[in-house]
Amino acid sequence: MPARRGQDYLASIRSRQPAVYYDGKLVDDVTTHPAFRVSVETLARMYDLQWEKDYIDKLTYEEDGERVGITYLIPQSKEDLRRVREGLTAIYDNLFGFFGRCYDYLNMWTGIFAAHARDFFGQPEARFGDNAIKYYQYCKKGDLFLTHAIVAPMVDRSKMPSQLADPYIQVGVVETRAEGIVVRGAAMVSTAAPYAEEIIYFPNMLRDPDPRYAVAFACPTNLPGIKFIARKAFTPRPGMGQFEYPISSRFEESDAMVVFDNVTIPWENVFIYREVDKIPLMMWGGVYMKAWFNYHFTIQHYSRLKFLVGLATAIASTVGIEKFINVQEKLGELLIYLNLTRASIIAAEEAGQKLPNGLFRPNPEIAVSCSHFNMKALPRAYEIIKLLAAGSLITLPSSYKDLENPEVRQYLEKYLAGAGVPAVERIKLFNLAWDVVCSELGQRYELYDRFSRGDPTIMWAKMFEQFSDQREECLKMVKRLLDTIEAPK
């Protein structure tokens, strides 16, 4: 059951290569393919981090005499939850808040599923609860890397999936067999899917009460019939690297559409089958995944915001504008976002709840509110960096080779120097800023921050419905005051 190292992951994904399509071709080896190599190398490095002297106690815990990844720890107390958070913080500080689909994210999901095995998945059929426990143990034993898929393709959202000409655009059960269920359909934006070993599927919301869509399962990514169609890679162009693209060269994480083409899912991998009422409860009720993954997002966001505050501060200092009041206002705004996120993480833990099944859950209202707030705050942070950097993001040399040409370098050193900063350091800084807010990868991260939890309008409106008890308490306060006002006779 040991936490594994990077070489273990690399050997595993090579031996169980999923069917990944890129540029019209079936990929032979994702570990060496130029579209996925950066992602795979970063992931392998993060597995190795579990065993480094300064991190082993933060990123692993001892169980049965072996070291297990901290993200498999099922929190049963506030202290457990804090310990998991400290591990996540160590991971994302190393990633500067990027690469949001590291190994930790779905590891936590398997533990939450196992914690709710008896009171949710195992009701009324105990076998589905047993499956949740066994799957958690299977993933923990192998320290596997998982992806997930939960959003149906947006073919025609004016109709329910069952009303479309092909009712299997959204993943649905085609038939049942003695060995399992046969599913067909697709899901979009499965991040890290091309180099994942396992995939978890369930619909993120109840778009159709047809029971064929009420299914949740997990399975190996290389099962026959599963195909991943990857988006174009945002890695640096040939001949360029960390100097020009310091983020893209390290933290590109692929996204793909997953197609289930009549895939047989063994019964032991099924968690929900034809139980329509359970689908909303996965997110907002019994399991309340919204509480967990939004808590996780806020931890990622905190690391990213620390990085963005530092980047904005460095830009302002380098061009000598940090004393301007309008600039200080923008830097102050970023610090407000940073500290509100930090406060929300701590508050979600302090106001967490011990559930009857023994699980200690972060406060849903706080975790969801902060994460949904950051759907707008993070894009605003990118905008502030653009405003501070302004035209300096455009006047950058084409590559490091310009600095290796003495004739060109003399002009760069003269005209691209900063306030007490040599030209090379200023160019490095603004290359970084460009990669964060203007490059293809930077734009991808901004889109992801806006929409990865769902449509912001729907998600913000959903809080009106889901936090109705909280609204009613606030309403009572107003009514209490109104009741003290004597009506005119």
Instruction: For 18-41, write each residue's pLDDT tens digit.
Output: 999 999 999 999 999 999 999 999
Total domains in the fold of the chain? 2
Which of these three, 224, 249, 282, is where a domain ends?
Answer: 282
Q: Both 196 and 113 in a single domain?
A: yes
pLDDT at 466: 79
Q: Can you give the length of the chain in residues? A: 489
Q: Residue 269: which residues within 8 A CB-CB, separation 6 or more?
A: 131, 135, 180, 217, 218, 219
Establish if 459 belongs to a structural domain. Answer: yes
Q: Both 314 and 267 in a single domain?
A: no
Residue 451 in this model has a pLDDT that exceeds 90:
no
pLDDT at 464: 82
Q: How many CA atoms lie within 13 A of 275 on its CB side?
A: 19
Q: Classify burial at 213, counting beta carbons within 10 Å of its beta carbon; exposed 0-12, middle 13-18, buried 19 or more.
A: buried
Q: Both 226 and 350 in a single domain?
A: no
Establish if 65 belongs to a structural domain. Answer: yes
| Domain span including residue 307 | 288-477
Establish if 486 belongs to a structural domain. Answer: no
- What is the band of 1 on the pLDDT scale with cuts at 50, 70, 90? low
Task: Give the tens place of pLDDT for each residue, 60-75.
Answer: 999 999 999 999 999 9
Sign of the alpha-carbon dihedral angle for 13, 16, 18, 21: positive
How many whole angstroms from its chain centre is CA 311? 22
215-220/198-201 β-pairing: antiparallel
Q: Both 240 and 298 in a single domain?
A: no
Q: Both 185 and 119 in a single domain?
A: yes
Which of these three, 251, 282, 313, is where a domain ends?
Answer: 282
Q: Both 296 and 255 in a single domain?
A: no
Q: Both 224 and 259 in a single domain?
A: yes
Q: Both 337 and 459 in a single domain?
A: yes
Alpha-carbon distances of 268 from 117, 162, 202, rounded to whole Å: 13, 27, 16
> Which contacts of 161-169 are long-range, i.e. CB under 8 A and separated by 24 or more positions?
161/207, 161/208, 161/210, 161/213, 162/208, 162/210, 162/212, 162/213, 167/210, 167/212
pLDDT at 489: 83
Q: Both 383 and 466 in a single domain?
A: yes
Q: What percent of the chain has pLDDT over 70?
A: 100
Tokens 């690399």 correspond to 10
When pLDDT is averaged across residues 443-465 and rounded to a whole number, the result is: 81
Establish if 369 belongs to a structural domain. Answer: yes
Establish if 487 belongs to a structural domain. Answer: no
How many Å apart are CA 457 and CA 301, to the nearest integer?
Answer: 20
Q: Both 248 and 346 in a single domain?
A: no
CATH of the domain at 32: 2.40.110.10
Residue 485 in this model has a pLDDT that exceeds 90:
yes
DSSP 11-31: HHHHHT---EEETTEE-S-TT
Establish if 196 belongs to a structural domain. Answer: yes
pLDDT at 459: 77
Q: Both 199 and 332 in a single domain?
A: no
CATH of the domain at 458: 1.20.140.10
Task: Give the tens place of pLDDT for each residue, 247-300.
Answer: 999 999 999 999 999 999 999 999 999 999 999 999 888 899 999 999 999 999
Establish if 42 belongs to a structural domain. Answer: yes
pLDDT at 157: 87
- What is the band of 163 on the pLDDT scale with cuts at 50, 70, 90? very high
When pLDDT is averaged across residues 47-58 and rounded to a whole number, the result is: 97
pLDDT at 83: 97
When pLDDT is averaged across residues 161-181 and rounded to a whole number, the result is: 97
Q: What percent of the chain has pLDDT over 90?
A: 90
Establish if 227 belongs to a structural domain. Answer: yes
Which of these three, 263, 282, 301, is where a domain ends?
Answer: 282
Q: Both 231 and 346 in a single domain?
A: no
Q: If residue 200 lies in a helix (H) or strand (E), which one and from where to where?
A: strand 198-201
When pLDDT is averaged across residues 109-127 and rounded to a whole number, the result is: 97
Whole-number mean pLDDT of the chain?
95
Residue 401 in this model has a pLDDT that exceeds 70:
yes
Task: Give the tens place of pLDDT for each residue, 343-388.
Answer: 999 999 999 999 999 999 999 999 999 999 999 999 999 999 999 9
pLDDT at 341: 97
Residue 462 in this model has a pLDDT that exceeds 80:
no
When pLDDT is averaged across residues 196-224 and rounded to a whole number, the result is: 96
